[in-house]
């Protein structure tokens, strides 16, 4: 997909619009499958981007699905994933949501002692489960996306192993998988090896173990000079560690990973229109027809997105602060070099496929953008832009 294609999409479907390049997703998926042992399975973390067309495409590629809510599970079933290829890893839900997932026959991952006890007392060994462990490994791009540290709400502390064993012994639950996820944007592949060693140590406590799920957190580059997790190096290291452990212990496991951002981030291009150029005594603002209601990551995570002027790609470089149209501070980029921007120009935010539309809202009663999938050289509308009536849907007027 070229920049000319993006300009045509902006003209055809308007802005703001998220565009996803299917070929990019395929390339990233094949990069994973070619880097790890053939028995390794990849569960797409669909919280990154859950449009059903994206799910169907990843299903066709042969991927499995990682879900964190019962509705993501239902979307996965609707998209054609077999139940055995779906893992449900919720957080802070009640037993009723777990039971609903059981009725759909998907893999279930439990991440706290309370639900583990409730589940065991009610179901015993009638339904095999995963247990999510908190390894107390601090990893990830920043604190907000680090999930394995000591104060994280995710997982059962490795120091509570005795509690897990007590529940297993008293309720006879069948633990067939262990899971851990230490965070996102992990730069050092050895973090995964550190987690794997903890998994190996725990494995002897779970006699029915079949699966080890390492979560994900593979790093993707957002700007020039950024590194990407070297999955080929990681794949070789992981394969050796698993092989060595199998030789010494006699145990064999299927290894799972849960890539989300790694698969879809680079596929995404967010198209916006420049509404106004505003110059103050110190700053030139490029005000666009979007805001953090459409792309909250720069404000929420301090994330960096390359921004380019598609309408004037050879214009003289000037310095702009790119801001949105929300009645809050929604600055996407301070003092950014862009080819000269005029009112009406189309700008593109790169690496916008993950947690872009997925975290969008109708704040300020603004409408959600459209989504387009670029597949086999053609642009397909996969979500209509909101209309005014969508703001009133489900509201009940009593006055």
Instruction: Give the residue among 193, 133, 129 at the shortest CA–CA distance from 159.
Output: 133
Binding residue per annotation — 383? Answer: no
Q: How far apart are CA 350 and CA 25, in angstroms?
A: 14
Residues facing residue 18 across a β-bridge: 270, 371
Sign for the CA dihedral angle at 105, 110, 114, 116 comes to positive
Is position 67 annotated as part of the catalytic site?
no
Q: Which candidate, 3, 18, 1, places its Cα nearest to that of 311?
A: 3
Taking alpha carbons only, the member of 83, 179, 96 closest to residue 131 is 179
CB 49 within 8 A of CB 268: yes
Contacts 24+ apart (CB under 8 A), 25-30: 25/54, 25/57, 25/58, 25/61, 25/263, 25/264, 25/267, 26/61, 28/259, 28/262, 28/263, 28/264, 28/266, 28/267, 29/58, 29/61, 29/62, 29/63, 29/263
b/e sequence 244-253, b meaning 16+ C-beta within 10 Å: ebeeeeeeeb
The pairing of strands 317-323 and 378-383 is unpaired
Q: Is 328 annotated as a binding residue?
A: yes
* Contact by Cβ (8 Å): 379, 368: no
CA distance 302 to 305: 10
Determine whether the annotation assigns residue 127 to a binding site: no
**297-300: long-range contacts (C-beta < 8 A, 24 or more apart)?**
297/355, 297/356, 297/359, 298/331, 298/332, 298/333, 299/329, 299/330, 299/331, 300/144, 300/359
Secondary structure element (H or E) that encloses residue 97, with its range:
helix 95-103
- Residue of 46, 67, 92, 327 marked active site: 327
Residues flagged as binding site for pyridoxal 5'-phosphate: 217, 355
Active site residues: 327
Residues flagged as binding site for substrate: 297, 301, 328, 355
Residues flagged as binding site: 217, 297, 301, 328, 355
């Amino acid at each position: 997909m070229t920049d000319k294609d993006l300009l045509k999409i902006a003209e055809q479907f308007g802005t703001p619009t998220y565009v996803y390049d299917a070929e990019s997703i395929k390339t990233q998926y094949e990069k994973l499958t070619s880097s790890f042992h053939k028995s390794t399975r990849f569960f797409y973390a669909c919280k990154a981007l859950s449009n059903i067309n994206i799910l169907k495409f990843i299903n066709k590629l042969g991927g499995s699905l990682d879900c964190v809510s019962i509705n993501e599970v239902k979307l996965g079933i609707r998209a054609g994933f077999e139940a055995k290829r779906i893992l449900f890893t919720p957080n802070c839900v009640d037993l009723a949501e777990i039971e609903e997932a059981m009725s759909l026959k998907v893999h279930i991952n439990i991440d706290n002692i309370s639900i583990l006890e409730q589940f065991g007392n009610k179901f015993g060994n009638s339904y095999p489960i995963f247990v999510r462990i908190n390894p107390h490994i601090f990893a990830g791009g920043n604190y907000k996306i680090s999930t394995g540290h000591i104060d994280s709400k995710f997982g059962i502390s490795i120091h509570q192993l005795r509690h897990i064993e007590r529940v297993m012994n008293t309720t006879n639950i069948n633990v067939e998988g262990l899971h851990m996820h230490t965070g996102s944007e992990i730069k050092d592949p050895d973090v995964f090896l550190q987690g794997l060693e903890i998994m190996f140590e725990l494995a002897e406590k779970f006699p029915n173990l079949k699966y080890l799920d390492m979560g994900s957190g593979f790093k993707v580059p957002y700007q020039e000079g950024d590194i990407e997790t070297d999955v080929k190096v990681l794949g070789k290291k992981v394969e050796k560690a698993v092989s060595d452990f199998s030789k010494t212990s006699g145990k064999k496991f299927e290894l799972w990973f849960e890539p989300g951002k790694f698969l879809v981030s680079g596929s995404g291009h967010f198209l916006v229109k420049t509404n106004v150029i505003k110059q103050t005594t110190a700053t030139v603002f490029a005000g666009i027809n979007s805001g953090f209601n459409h792309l909250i990551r720069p404000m929420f995570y301090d994330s960096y997105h390359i921004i380019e002027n598609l309408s004037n790609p050879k214009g003289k470089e000037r310095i702009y602060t790119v801001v949105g149209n929300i009645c809050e501070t929604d600055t996407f980029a301070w003092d950014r070099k862009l080819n000269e921007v005029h009112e009406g120009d189309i700008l593109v935010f790169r690496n916008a496929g993950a947690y872009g539309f997925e975290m969008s809202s109708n704040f300020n009663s603004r409408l959600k953008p459209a989504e387009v999938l670029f597949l086999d050289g053609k642009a397909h509308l996969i979500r209509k832009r909101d209309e005014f009536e969508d703001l009133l849907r489900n509201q009940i007027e009593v006055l």
